[in-house]
Chains A and B, each alone.
Chain A
Amino acid sequence: MSDRKPYLELKRISKRYGGVSALTEVDFSVYPGEIQAVLGENGAGKSTLIKIASGVTDPTEGEVFIEGRPVRFKSPTEAMRAGVVCVFQELSLLPEMTVADNLSIVDPPKWLGMIDAKGQRDRARALLKRVGCEDVHPLELVRNLPLSRRQMVEIAKALGRDPRILILDEATSALTADDVERVYGIIRDLKKSGVGILYVSHRMREIEALADTATVFRNGRKIETFTKGARSVDAIIEMMIGREVTHQYPPKPEPLDAKAEAGKPVALAAANLAWGREIQGVSFNLRKGEIVGLGGLDGQGQRELLLALFGVLKGVSGTVAVDGKPISLDGPRQAMHAPLPMALIPEDRKTEGLMLPMSVRDNMTLAALPRLLGRFGIDGDKENAAVQRMVDRLRVKTPNLDAPVSALSGGNQQKVVLAKWLMTAPGIILLNDPTRGIDVGTKQEIYRLMRELANQGAAILFYSTDYAELIGCCDRVLVVYDGKIRRELAGEALNERNLLQSALNIDASEQAA
């Protein structure tokens, strides 16, 4: 094995955007039959590395080699022809086209020079079967598929190109547990047939389960490549953030006994909420000063529940009372003016949270502008001062307040979304998977912030796809299954085993037996 040659090799690669260095003199190689994990905070240079390897962008300096030959990809198409295929984090599927069209978008089977529709359907059926998505019809439009299915189609599309190097960039972030297992299986099969795999993920557990080797990046530089097991998780995290990790999660308050618990004022009380098949009779109380998690498998109605509480969904039945007074679920504006102001950190910060080309200032104050009015409209000084306070408090890294949010890293963008809502002084905060695709350092800051806000009396409803996060942050967790609250976990019972069992809807007593 020692004399094998890398299939893909990057030598002294640097990439600068304007004056900013995204990658600095990186040497990197992927061998056939190897699963290599790429680790690093957001902005560490992982995405740039992937973009260069897959032909989306050119390196400023350095060279790319395929099987020892220097190459220069002018487009993703050329990279694919050379065997380097990428499953992008931002889905590269075409929503208004059929699954079959998407799977054969570049080199469709042809008949008399025209696309052979039937050949294309058969090919799609075979590929879908390979990823275990036989339930998806080849003629279904991609936009009609749920996110998790779309991600599987995306993977099927990459498989259809016979990759020699397969790059998976956060490819499992939206998948259900079953699908993740299936993807692991596919990856292991590919490895056996000699395909090199580059695996980018923020989930440490996935990396432990899969990778042969791992490479850590920080600030655009490669820190170290090591074989699995050579470094502890803490050591890896330390390498990624470049400083010692003390606490992953802020300390929780002592759990109260049932009587004291019941005495705490209820911030939000939901009764019999229902909406289509996604929410089927959900009732719960959210008290002031506590962080309540929403757990369960992805896509069990948790996102819809948060949207329903914020008034975004039409035709929700049931009642919601805030601070004891019933409210109507008519929209974000009404939710913001509930007896306790509500705030929602949405799922997708790029389309639902931010106006990317607008400045940090304009984004942060959008929801709170009425508080910043002077005698002649918006008071510029007051506004700048308020924004600066938030930038300092949340430690937002930005060149200045006028910089467009698009210039910030993912973690800092998420901080801007949080800042926007903190400006409205919310009493109830709904968080929809706020740490997804965010670096470890920012995650920890967000955990601390959540606890700080709870200690100040805010009620927090926190949906996350990461079980460790739920266990580490929440006072109690409501596990949702098929649109219903299946179980409530708190204190000692709040552990990974119980979470997973109730998420899979396996009865605890059956397991014990």
Chain B
Amino acid sequence: MTGVDTGAARGPTLAARLGIDRSVTIAFGCILLILCGGALYSREFLSPEYLLQQLQVGAFLGIIASGAMMVILLGHIDLSIPWVVTLGAMMATAMVGWGGAAGVWLCIPFGVFCGAVVGVLNGLGVAYLRLPSMIFTLGMNAVVQGLMVLHTGGFAPLDQATPAMHFMAVQRSLFGIPNAVFVWALVGIFVIYVLKRTAFGRAVYAVGNRESAAYLSGVNTNRVLIGCFAFSGAMAAFAGVLLAGYSNKAYQNMGDAYLLPAIAAVVLGGTNILGGRGNYLGTIAGVILITLLQSILSVMQMPEAGRQVIYGCVIIAMLLIYGRGAKARS
């Protein structure tokens, strides 16, 4: 044998198979730390009710982060999330007015569809016009904002959520677990399946690592780009629909609070902001971490100023612990 290694015999470890790497471990460790710290402050933090509530709130962020993650894996970024969230909410609620009886049924798919359309446009700009995603999605965000301002101002449409939206976002049907958590779980399973078991998922990582090599290997890179941006748009809009159900109405700026937490959650979960590396388990950890952090700061009645400072410092500190780039000099 001339150093030929029988690699298959020594396959990946179980942890590696499940996608548990250093960043995921640290993220989950921090979650435990926050919970323990919270428990010292108040016993309420360990009650199932509190935790379920956090999961419910986290589900909205989780769904948005699922889409954001697909785009970040490509090495791109979707800055149109804020207004696409609003778009989803407004189009879904407005559909009830436009569609009458059918509108009640069509409203949720229609809201998601509108988000997907914006996503496809983002993807077209990035794939065919080869514009930097940061700048193109930013422009798209401004366009959608303009459309929504026109929509709310001009036609005074319905903005009330339907019972179905309310059901999905707020109610609990099985074992007292909020339905929103099930919705997030479905989205999560879909993402994991696509990333782990499909050629599309493999292509996502390939494009994120080196698009030219992926192209020369016969990967339809433009389709991958458009697909991921469409998914991101659809998920942002879907979260918007749920948020409308949660607060019973759609309103302007409802998505503003979600862009930075979504990106932070994905990155804290170990996904490389430059693309090509990351797994969904990390994103789950990141979402829970961000949600708990926000919750604990508000429970402690920290003023907004302090919350912002702590929020920023925690993200920096956590990233300094892991997720650092390679040294130029070894």
Q: Which residues of A contact B (CB under 8 A)?
A: 17, 56-58, 75, 310, 312, 331-333, 335-336, 344, 346, 351-358, 360, 362, 365-367, 369-370, 373, 376-378, 384-385, 387-388, 391-392, 395-403, 420, 424
Q: How far is the CB of B310 from chain A (nearest CB, A)?
A: 33
Are B210's CB and A400's CB within 8 A?
no
Please give, as numbers and ranges, the residues of chain B lying within 8 Å of A360 by CB-CB distance: 7
Q: How far is the CB of A441 from chain B (nearest CB, A)?
A: 9
User: For B3, what are the chain A residues with a Cβ–Cβ distance below 8 Å?
Assistant: 397
Say whether B212 contacts A352, CB under 8 Å.
yes
- A355-B209, A403-B7 known, 10 other contacts, Cβ within 8 Å: A75-B329, A312-B216, A352-B216, A355-B276, A377-B197, A384-B8, A384-B11, A397-B5, A401-B8, A401-B11
Given known A-B contacts A57-B330, A357-B277, A346 and B216 have beta carbons under 8 A apart? yes
A17's closest neighbor in chain B, by CB?
B330
The answer to whether residues A400 and B276 also contact, given A75-B329, A355-B210, A358-B206 and a CB cut-off of 8 A, is no
Q: Which of B194-218 contact A (CB under 8 A)?
A: 196-199, 202-203, 205-206, 209-210, 212-218
Please tell me if the beta carbons of B7 and A400 are within 8 angstroms of each other in the complex: yes
CA distance A339 to B209 in the complex (A): 31
Inter-chain contacts of A400 with B (CB < 8 A): 5, 7-8, 10-12
Q: With a CB–CB cut-off of 8 A, which chain A residues contact B218?
A: 332-333, 335-336, 367, 424
Q: Is the CB of A354 within 8 A of B210?
A: yes
**B13-40 toward A: CB 8 Å interface, digit per residue (1/0)?**
0001000000000000000000000000
**Residues in A neighbouring B215, C-beta threshold 8 A:** 331-332
A369–B199 CB distance below 8 A: yes
* B residues neighboring A (CB under 8 Å): 2-8, 10-12, 16, 193, 196-199, 202-203, 205-206, 209-210, 212-220, 276-277, 329-330
Known A-B contacts A362-B202, A376-B197; A355 and B5 likewise in contact (beta carbons under 8 Å):
no
Complex: A299 Cα to B244 Cα, angstroms: 61
What separation, in Å, do the CA atoms of A357 and B75 have in the docked complex? 14
Contact A354 B213 (CB under 8 A): yes
Give CA–CA (A459, B197) in the complex, Å: 34
- Give every chain A residue within 8 A of B206 (Cβ-Cβ): 355, 358, 362, 366
Chain A nearest CB from B297 CB (Å) reads 36
The residues of A that contact B198 with a CB separation of less than 8 Å are 377-378
Contact, CB under 8 Å: A366 / B6: no
Q: Which of A356, A369, A398, A399 has the most CB of B within 10 A?
A: A369
Task: Please tell me which one of the listed residues B4, B5, B16, B217 contacts residue A366 in the complex, with CB atoms under 8 A apart.
Answer: B217
Interchain Cβ contacts under 8 Å between A and B, 17 examples: A332-B217, A333-B219, A336-B218, A352-B213, A353-B216, A355-B213, A355-B214, A357-B277, A362-B202, A366-B202, A366-B217, A377-B199, A378-B198, A391-B4, A397-B3, A399-B5, A400-B8
Assess whether B210 is in contact with A397, with CB atoms less than 8 Å apart: no
Contacts of B5 in A (CB 8 A): 391, 397-400
Query: Contact between A357 and B276 (Cβ–Cβ < 8 Å)?
Result: yes
Contact A351 B213 (CB under 8 A): yes
Q: List chain A residues, Cβ under 8 A from B213.
A: 346, 351-355
Minimal Cβ-Cβ distance residue in B for A367? B217
List the 10 closest A-B pairs by CB distance, nearest first.
A377-B197, A400-B7, A355-B209, A369-B199, A401-B7, A367-B217, A336-B218, A366-B217, A332-B218, A388-B8
Residue of A nearest to B215 (CB): A332
Q: Is the CB of A351 within 8 A of B330?
A: no
Which residues of B are found within 8 Å of A397, using beta-carbon distances? 3-5
Enumerate chain A residues within 8 angstroms of B219, measured Cβ to Cβ.
333, 366
| Closest partner residue, chain A, to B329 (CB atom) | A57
- Known contacts A336-B218, A369-B202, A377-B198: A358-B209 contact under CB 8 Å: yes
Whole-angstrom CA separation of A357 from B3 in the bound complex = 22
Among A331, A366, A385, A399, chain B packs the most CB atoms within 10 A around the CB of A366
Task: Collect the chain A residues with CB atoms within 8 Å of residue B220's CB.
Answer: 333
Least Cβ distance of A444 to chain B in Å? 13
* Nearest opposing residue in chain A for B203, CB measure: A366
Could you tell me the distance in whole angstroms from the C-beta of A34 to the nearest C-beta in chain B?
29
Closest to B9 in A: A400
Write out the residue numbers on chain B whose beta carbons fall within 8 Å of the beta carbon of A358.
205-206, 209, 276
Q: A residues within 8 A CB of B16?
A: 402
Tell whether, in the assembled complex, residue B12 and residue A402 are in contact, meaning their CB atoms are under 8 Å apart.
yes
Contact B7–A378 (Cβ < 8 Å): no
**A396 contacts across to B, CB distance below 8 A:** 4
User: Contact: B217 with A395, CB < 8 Å?
Assistant: no
Instruction: For A388, list chain B residues within 8 Å (CB).
Output: 6-8
Q: How far is the CA of A397 from the CA of B8 in the complex (A)?
A: 13
User: Closest CB-CB distance, B75 to chain A, in whole Å?
Assistant: 12
**Max chain B C-beta neighbours (<10 A), residue from A362, A365, A402:** A402
Output the nearest chain B residue to A345 by Cβ-Cβ distance.
Answer: B216
Query: Is B209 in contact with A392, judged by CB distance below 8 angstroms?
Result: no
Given the complex of chains A and B, what is the CA–CA distance between A354 and B216 in angstroms? 10
Query: In the assembled complex, how far is the CB of residue B275 from the closest CB belonging to chain A, in whole angstroms?
Result: 10
| A-chain residues with CB within 8 Å of residue B199 when the two chains form the complex | 369-370, 373, 377-378
A484 to B278, CA, bound (A): 48
Residue in B12, B202, B210 whose CB lies within 8 Å of A378: B202
By the criterion CB–CB under 8 Å, are A56 and B329 in contact? yes
Task: Name the residue on B nearest A421 (C-beta).
Answer: B217
Residue in chain B with minimal CB distance to A379: B197
Chain A residues within 8 Å of B217, by CB: 332, 366-367, 420
On chain A, the residues within 8 Å of B10 by CB distance are: 400
Least CB distance from A4 to B in Å reads 33
Residues of chain B within 8 A of A385, CB atoms compared: 8
Closest residue on chain B to residue A420 by CB atoms: B217
User: Taking A378-B197, A401-B7 as contacts, is the C-beta distance between A332 and B202 under 8 angstroms?
Assistant: no
A351 neighbours in B (Cβ, 8 Å): 210, 212-213
Which residues does chain A contribute within 8 Å of B11, judged by CB atoms?
384, 400-402
| Smallest Cβ-Cβ distance to A366: which chain B residue | B217
